[in-house]
Structure 1
Amino acid sequence: MTSHAKQLISFLTLMLISLFVNAENNSSFLMKPVKKSTDQPIYIQIFKEESLLELYTEKLDGQLEKVRTYPICSYSGGLGPKKFQGDLKSPEGFYQVNFSQLNPNSRFYRAINLGFPNQYDKSKGYTGDFLMIHGACKSVGCYAMTDSVMDEIYQYAELALQGGQSTINIHIFPFKMTTENMKKHQYSKDMDFWQQLMPAYQYVEERKQIPSVTVQNGRYFVNSTLTSSNSVNPVLNLSQNSESKWLQDTHTTIK
């Protein structure tokens, strides 16, 4: 065997070893388990303009601790609330999720149904259904995440509900509702609606606690002292039929 042939064989051997090691490393990366989350109660904020989902855990004293900030892969329809089926918009407002709204076998990998329309949406006559946070990184009215990110969000939600949290509050804002951003959007047709959302954002920023939200006369009130027979908590659209249909998750819906 010539010296050149020996050098070629040595080179090819090193290449094969390198490819094998890289393949092993890549395999280990892909199989890397999601970071272990806890069964602490959680709270979620979504910010459209920044394309961020922020996840908090609630400590025993009621104080919130931000533990994760995730990029939103995709949402649709721009800023502003969802108003009718087929407008392809992702919702804004205050939503609550219980265990029946988790779907581990969604065609979008994992999914959490937001419960749209809530009491406020219904009071406005808004329509639409199956608005979710889900994987698969594609959206028509939902908030889509990468599968790996959705896996972790889903785990936090599942463990929190299994650990005794009855409902998870998910508050969806058009943007981080700072004075500067509100001024930037002051001429928007949705400003009146956004002013109803802003106190909840401020409350979390200042108090690090989950705000109490009610609906009265077709408006959101945050930590309101107003009382009325018409004042109710935002509720979920979870009739037995719609819940069963949601869990099947096998049809195409124009959102």
Structure 2
Amino acid sequence: MLSDQLSPGGHIYIHGSCVTVGCIPLRDEQIEEVYLIASAAKASGQDHIPVHIFPVDFNNRKSLTYLYKTTEQDPVLQRFEVGLKEAYDYFNQTKELPLIGITGKGEYSIMN
């Protein structure tokens, strides 16, 4: 899915209090855990801390049923969903982040 090339975005804020205005809200307990992990990474010298977010747990049948119902009428979202699952599976199998590229059609693709 191609974004606006002049203003592609790129920043998604993650915060506590479980409220959102275009962000990803977490409960305070979960944001504390994210903060501790990020703080430890930063203290170890890591300047860039990637966050990979998936719409569902692809190993959970109930979540998959929800996702399939949500995307059943949209072939573009279905293709996007397949790519997300590939990245999810890659990470779960290798415990390494996949290298993601963008094809000429604007679709995400695993490069490694």
Is TM > 0.5 for Structure 1 vs Structure 2? yes
Question: Structure 1 CA distance, aligned partners of 2:21 and 2:58?
Answer: 25
**Any stretches of 5+ residues in structure 1 without a counterpart?**
1-120, 226-255
Equivalent residue letter for 1:213: I
Question: Structure 1 CA distance, aligned partners of 2:10 and 2:103?
Answer: 23
Tell me which residue corresponds to 1:187. Answer: 72
Question: Structure 2 CA distance, aligned partners of 1:208 and 1:129?
Answer: 24
Question: Structure 1 CA distance, aligned partners of 2:66 and 2:32?
Answer: 36
Tell me which residue corresponds to 1:149. Answer: 30
Relative to structure 1, the CA distance from residue 127 to residue 215 in structure 2 (aligned partners, 3 Å threshold; closer, same or farther) is closer
1:211 to 2:98 alignment: yes
Equivalent residue letter for 1:220: Y
From 41, 47, 64, give the equivalent of 1:160: 41
Question: Structure 2 CA distance, aligned partners of 1:215 and 1:166?
Answer: 24
Residue 182 of structure 1 deviates from its aligned partner by 6.8
Normalising by structure 1, report the TM-score: 0.35
Question: Structure 2 CA distance, aligned partners of 1:138 and 1:146?
Answer: 9
Residue 160 of structure 1 deviates from its aligned partner by 0.2
Residue 153 of structure 1 deviates from its aligned partner by 1.3
Q: What is the aligned residue count?
A: 103
Deviant stretches of 4+, over 6 Å: none
Relative to structure 1, the CA distance from residue 182 to residue 213 in structure 2 (aligned partners, 3 Å threshold; closer, same or farther) is farther
Report which of the two has the higher share of strand: 1
Residue 127 of structure 1 deviates from its aligned partner by 5.6
Residue 201 of structure 1 deviates from its aligned partner by 0.5
Q: CA-to-partner distance for each residue in 1:89-148, whole Å, 9 max, x for gaps?
A: xxxxxxxxxxxxxxxxxxxxxxxxxxxxxxxx7x42176575311012211221212334
Tell me which residue corresponds to 1:11. Answer: none
Does 1 or 2 have the higher relative contact order (CA < 8 Å, sep 6+)?
A: 1
Normalising by structure 2, report the TM-score: 0.70
Residue 193 of structure 1 deviates from its aligned partner by 1.3
Equivalent residue letter for 1:216: T
Residue 163 of structure 1 deviates from its aligned partner by 0.9
Report which of the two has the higher share of helix: 2
Question: Structure 2 CA distance, aligned partners of 1:161 and 1:207?
Answer: 23
Identity of aligned residues (%): 28
Tell me which residue corresponds to 1:171. Answer: 52
